[in-house]
Amino acid sequence: MDALMLTQNQLLATKFHVPVTLGRLISRPRLTALLNESLNRPFTLVSAPAGFGKTTLLSTWSQSLLPNHPRVAWVSLEEEDNDPRQFWTYVLTALKMQQPNRFTEVLMQLQSPQPLPIKYILAALINLLADGTDDFLLILDDYQMITEQEIHTILAYLIEHLPPQLHIILATRADPPLPLPLLRASQQALEVRTDQLRCTVEETRTFFEKVIGIQLPAETIQEVATRTEGWLVGLQLLGLSLPEHASSLTLLERASGDQRYILDYLTQEVLQRQSQEVQAFLLSTSILERLSASLCDAIMEQSGSQQMLEQLEQANLFVTALDSKCQWYRYHALFAEALSYRLEQRHADRLSSLHHRASLWYAEHDQTTQAIVHAFKAQQWNWAADLLERESLHLTSLTWGAGQRALVMLKKWIEQLPEEVMHARPALCLACTQLLWTVAHHTKLDGWLDAAEASLSALLLTQTHEDASVPTLAPQVWQERANRLGEVITFRAVVRSHEEDAQVALPLCQQALALLSPDNLAARAFVAWAQLRALYASPTNNAVAAIESGLQSGSLAQAAGKTALTIGAIGATVMYMIGAGRLHEVQQLTQQARQLGTQPGGLVSPDVCWPAIWQAEVLREWNKLDAALELVEEAISLSSQTTTIVSIGYSLFGYVVLMRIALSRGELGRASSALQEFEHIKMHMNQPLALHYHSLFTTVDQVRLWFACGERDRALRWAEELDLGAQHRAPFAREREEVAYARVRLATQQPVLALERLELVLQRARAGQRWGHVIEIRLLQARAHQMCHEISQALEALSEAVRLAEPEGFIRSFVEEGAPMAALLYSLREEQRKAGATPYLDTLLAAFSQKSQMQEHRLKQAAGHTTSQPHLDPLSERELEVLQLLVEGASNQEIAQALVIARDTVKRHVSHIFSKLGVQNRIQAERQARELRLLDEIH
């Protein structure tokens, strides 16, 4: 059976069926007319709380449409559909069911072992639809179950680019995070909301007359409509509770109260009217999201569940069949809530055994996730640990098959396990450490590693004589025990290498290597990975040795046949290689890693996002900003699909590089958003790792962003806190803080203070042979000497930076320093031209001009008075538009109206323009803009 057919068989067929409503319905022509209008809009939102008849309305309306005009594709969503790949598999399958041959290829692309990014697959879908003449209507029911942001983002992309051949309707209990204001403004969306779905007084009267079969006075109907607020399910439940000859007084009495009252009423009046056998079945099976005869038999420890389920459906007791063969059912959500509440209140002592039986059934049927969930609810800790150990077997090659959502769920599960259960299982302790080392608290990690090491050490000692020199068992058995202990110590080294005192990882690495067998290549690759980090960022300060360890890690992983681990090791190595200034090697290695992750036929492993992120950073440094932006956005998209134990780090690094690229492009809003994403991801990480990544990547860039956005006071407060002793204890982190601090002092015209802080960090960077950082520091020293009118010292520092940068093609490191640096480079070029051509300096100076039009004579003029020149970042296209209107004398309100943006947005743009030009008011801004000929570039 091919992969596509296998996937189709795993999908729940009933999720594609338009629900069939049993019983009599009232006619609601006003809503039918509203939905008919939806066929003239690309997107329709049906949003209201539970029980307002969204599904019933859509199902009856869609079935009233002419056959295949349009073709209706229906998907009923559930919580597990938050996996992006599964979500879009259901969507594409629903479309495929309407035209089987047309969408097969797109679906196969999504279901391939190494799929393209989903956005690309949807682009193919859009083109496919646009090429045809058939119209399709996609209805996504219960969309409130979707909480995964990636799905919202990609759905928004689909809606934005919808061809006229496709209409989408979302039915949901809460507004989704989609760009609804923009869709409203462009008249692309139709919205059907609670007020429209409420039953009117006339519809309420019709309901009681036609469905319930009773005539009531007009004032009673009015009162019932008011008390129920037009809640359709409330009316249905109320009608169900009425005796055969109900009076108006009885109806009003029973209509009093809120939704909680109706839930209680369900329990008292519906449940208690059933036989004891039915009540027992309903309560016991209420712990299940879905019901099948076999599962219910296991829960009840009896047979006959299929007959019971059919009986409940026939009696309309809030049970819905999920497939045409009546093999799976579910309870109405409100009814299930009432049943669960009753079970917890009256039979709490039965909960554990019920959940345990459910867990055993799910485990027997290879549904491990549900088995684990019910094992924890049953508080069957050892059984839950057994199930978790089954899943941990996938950790041997860095992958587990779980993304960030699954890690959060797993973390929640594991934290419930009693310590005595965890500590008795060294394999589970190691697996949990490996899997959760980025998100679990460091004390938890230490506890698991301590327990695993103590248990395995004791076990290893029992394998030897008293002199601990001669194994009592076969050598291979002793080596197996030693390998397990070595792997525990290896991962302790990995964890320690990312903490402040990273150097302590080095002796742990040697201890691990003494235990690991020569053929345990994967574990040895992790040892080399830990050495990479420890040698680079600890007091050892040896970039050459660190990078050599990183390269060795990749070679060992590749020899072990672990592709994901190989790509991860290369990504970690080139990250530090950039700091060492070895850009061409980074480009070569990242390209090799991307090729390693590309399968025949062009299928790409999501793990290639890691090297691609750093390839984008090199492209940024080489001033290839468009290519860098495209690559990093693709990498970020791929990072959300990764299932490695460091996938959260991949996303983190992606936003770091995106922030840098946006800064280089002058797109401050995008840069700020990227920093916010970085901070959001960092919140889910444990504190030592979060501090490590922040100091390593964003300390300097955050200060640069503050000044670019005009947040001068924020940068000054940060520098003051640093002066008060808030420095990081890790040597490399302190170095980055000193560089950031020097930038603050340069921006506040305090060059002497900047020079004082830069000298020691320059010595350390040189000693570690981190030439990329040496270039950065020497450029800052050049600017500081320039401010002090020490031109010879400034040119000396700049000359060294140029000498180091030229072989690797550095560009943005110079350009980011603005007009003062351009003036210095011009002076250096004039001096060096006496000895011959200066192609590299020519390239650097050409990169400084905004949109390639800064004139050389202005640089020559700037060379004489750059000590007072502000740092000049390029203006974005929107800022140039605002600047043009500002110079023409338009007010903020007039600019807002002309550009169709908010007034506060105009104020923010003006603030950014003033900051970039180094001015305080409009008159100064106009003068500076004309001097730099920025107004010439707007047309």
pLDDT tens readout for residues 751-792: 999 999 999 999 999 999 999 999 999 999 999 999 999 999
Overall size of the chain counted in residues: 939
Other CB atoms within 10 A of residue 363 CB? 19
Q: At what angle do helices 647-665 and 404-414 cross, to 10 degrees?
A: 140
Which range, of 533-547, 729-743, 874-888, averages the lowest pLDDT?
874-888
pLDDT band at 229 (very low <50, low <70, confident <90, very high): low
Angstrom distance (rounded) from CA 769 to CA 483:
35
Other CB atoms within 10 A of residue 349 CB? 7
pLDDT higher than 80, residue 390: no
HSE-CB for 697 with a 13 A CA cutoff: 26
More confident residue, 161 or 337: 161
Given this model, what pLDDT does residue 401 score? 39
Cβ distance 192 to 52 under 8 Å? no
Across 66-80, 767-781, 909-923, which has the greatest mean pLDDT?
A: 767-781
DSSP collapsed to 3 states, 374-390? HHHHCCCHHHHHHHHHH
Angstrom distance (rounded) from CA 335 to CA 353:
22
Angstrom distance (rounded) from CA 137 to CA 150:
23
pLDDT band at 532 (very low <50, low <70, confident <90, very high): very high
Please give the average per-residue pLDDT across 509-528, as a whole number.
93
Please give the average per-residue pLDDT across 137-160, as a whole number.
91
Angstrom distance (rounded) from CA 414 to CA 435:
11
Angstrom distance (rounded) from CA 144 to CA 817:
48
Please give the average per-residue pLDDT across 697-715, as a whole number.
88
pLDDT tens per residue across span 84-131: 888 999 999 999 989 888 888 888 888 777 777 888 888 889 999 988
More confident residue, 395 or 262: 262
pLDDT band at 3 (very low <50, low <70, confident <90, very high): very low
Torsion of CA 813, 817, 820, 826, to 10 degrees: 20
pLDDT tens per residue across span 440-492: 788 888 888 998 899 888 877 765 544 445 556 667 777 888 888 999 999 99
Helix (H) and strand (E) counts for the chain? 50, 8
Cβ distance 438 to 689 under 8 Å? yes
Average pLDDT, the chain: 82
pLDDT band at 402 (very low <50, low <70, confident <90, very high): very low
174 SS3 class:
coil
Tokens for 75, please give them: 């998907």
Which range, of 27-41, 223-237, 727-741, 846-860, averages the lowest pLDDT?
846-860
pLDDT higher than 50, residue 516: yes
Cα-Cα end-to-end distance for the chain: 61
Given this model, what pLDDT does residue 353 score? 94
Angstrom distance (rounded) from CA 905 to CA 452:
56
Which positions ≥6 away from 30 have C-beta within 8 Å? none
Beta bridge partners of 399: 644
Cβ distance 278 to 308 under 8 Å? yes
pLDDT band at 4 (very low <50, low <70, confident <90, very high): very low
Cβ distance 806 to 775 under 8 Å? no
Peptide linkage before 600 cis (omega within 30 of 0): no
Tokens for 195, please give them: 């007020």
Tokens for 346, please give them: 């009256």
pLDDT higher than 70, residue 315: no
Which range, of 28-42, 554-568, 636-650, 924-938, averages the lowest pLDDT?
924-938
Q: At what angle do helices 351-364 and 293-300 cross, to 10 degrees?
A: 140
Burial grade of 723 (CB within 10 A; 0-12, 13-18, 19 or more)? exposed
Burial grade of 792 (CB within 10 A; 0-12, 13-18, 19 or more)? exposed
